[in-house]
Amino acid sequence: MAAIVNFDIYSEHSQLRRPLAWSLGLHLTFATFVVLYAVFIPGFGRNSWGTGGTGDAMGATLVSAVPLPANPTETTNVLATESKGLAKSEPTVQEKEPEAIPIPDKNTKTKLKPAPIKSATQRKPQPEPSESNQIPYGEGGPVSGPYTMTAGGAKGGFGFTGSGGDFGSQFGWYVQAVQRKVTENWLKYEVDPRIAEAKRVYVTFDIARDGHPSNVEIEQSSGVPSLDQSAVRALRRIDTFGPLPPDYSGSKVSVEFWFDYKR
- Can residue 157 be called a binding residue for other proteins (CB under 8 A)? yes
In single-letter form, the type of residue at position 143 comes to V
Nearer to other proteins, 184 or 228 (CB): 184
Residue (of 188, 102, 98, 199) closest to 152 by Cα position: 188
- Can residue 154 be called a binding residue for other proteins (CB under 8 A)? yes
Nearer to other proteins, 39 or 65 (CB): 65
Number of residues in contact with other proteins, rule: CB under 8 A?
74
- Can residue 160 be called a binding residue for other proteins (CB under 8 A)? yes
The one segment of 27-35, 104-112, 126-134, 234-242 that binds other proteins by CB under 8 A: 234-242
Near other proteins by CB under 8 A: residue from 134, 158, 194, 196: 158
Near other proteins by CB under 8 A: residue from 85, 139, 141, 170: 170
- Can residue 186 be called a binding residue for other proteins (CB under 8 A)? yes
Near other proteins by CB under 8 A: residue from 41, 105, 173, 194: 173
- Can residue 133 be called a binding residue for other proteins (CB under 8 A)? no
- Can residue 254 be called a binding residue for other proteins (CB under 8 A)? yes
How far does Cα 110 stand from its chain's mean position? Answer: 57
Near other proteins by CB under 8 A: residue from 61, 75, 94, 130: 75
Q: State the minimum distance, in angstroms, from the CB of residue 216 to other proteins.
A: 14
The one segment of 25-33, 44-52, 114-122, 158-166 that binds other proteins by CB under 8 A: 158-166
Near other proteins by CB under 8 A: residue from 84, 135, 141, 177: 177
DSSP string, the chain: -HHHHHHHHHHHHHHHHHHHHHHHHHHHHHHHHHHHHHHHSTTSSS--TT---SSS----PPPS---PPPPSSPPP-THHHHS--S--PPPPP-PPPPPPPPPP-SSSPPPPPPPPPP-TTSSPPPPPPPPP----TT-SSSPPPTTT---------------SS-HHHH-HHHHHHHHHHHHHH--GGGS-TT--B-PPEEEEEEEETTS-EEEEEEEE--S-HHHHHHHHHHHHT---S-PPPTT--SSEEEEEEEE--B-
Near other proteins by CB under 8 A: residue from 25, 138, 145, 193: 145
Q: State the minimum distance, in angstroms, from the CB of residue 194 to other proteins.
A: 17
Nearer to other proteins, 15 or 240 (CB): 240
Residue (of 58, 93, 64, 15) closest to 226 by Cα position: 64
Q: 219 — phi, psi (to 5°)?
A: -85, -40
The one segment of 4-12, 86-94, 131-139, 247-255 that binds other proteins by CB under 8 A: 247-255
